[in-house]
Amino acid sequence: MTSNITRRHMIGTGLAATCAATLPGMALALTDATAKALVQQVVNDINRVIASGKPVNAMIKDFEGIFRRYADVNLIARSTLGADANRASASQLRAYTDAFRSYVARKYGKRFNEFAGGKVEVKSVRKVKSWHEVAGVVNLRGSAPFDVRFLVSDRSGKDLFFDLVIEGISLRLSERTEIGSMLDRRKGNIDAMIADLRQAG
């Protein structure tokens, strides 16, 4: 049971991570319809990469490209750095954001072969405070379906995906724990943690 939940979370988080990128902004304010359309496009792009049959390394490169198109990587990266972001310099934040994006692509992209033959369905959308929550379900071969919730905002001036919750587990909070552990091992040295991050995943 535990291994199945872990597998679900890894695959679901991989989906989340892949969806984390930057979409060209829209002139109109974010609505239920535009939030749902964003998530549907994310799902379509992911499914195309998975179905491409490319080697894992090529798929990882494609996933990182999707990050750039669809997610608010700056917000996600800063959030995972937590309070330590306040003491990081501008150059450190840029380096960390670049390293984080590649780290997520490597870490979760490697697991997408397990998603082959699966399907993500977008089900519903609702407004929650200043963002929209798009609910979906992931169907995997040989596994029970599980729920995912995409959080979409236009706070940056663009319609962007800024988090995904898989069966109650947040991508941002999960990775904040991982990054925090890396910092602890380096006694709070941000530059050393960034160097580690570039090799991790």
Give percent of the chain above pLDDT 70.
83
Give percent of the chain above pLDDT 90.
46
**Cα-to-chain-centroid distance, residue 63:** 10
Query: Using one digit for the tens of pLDDT, what is the confidence trace for 117-167?
Result: 777 788 999 999 899 999 988 887 778 888 889 999 998 889 999 998 888
CATH assignment at residue 122? 3.10.450.710
Q: Domain residues for 46?
A: 2-199
Q: Give the Cα separation of 180 and 189 in Å (integer).
A: 11
In SS3 terms, 145-156 reads as CEEEEEEEECCC
Task: Give the chain's domain count.
Answer: 1
The answer to whether the pTM exceeds 0.95 is no
Query: Using one digit for the tens of pLDDT, what is the confidence trace for 162-179?
Result: 998 888 899 899 999 999
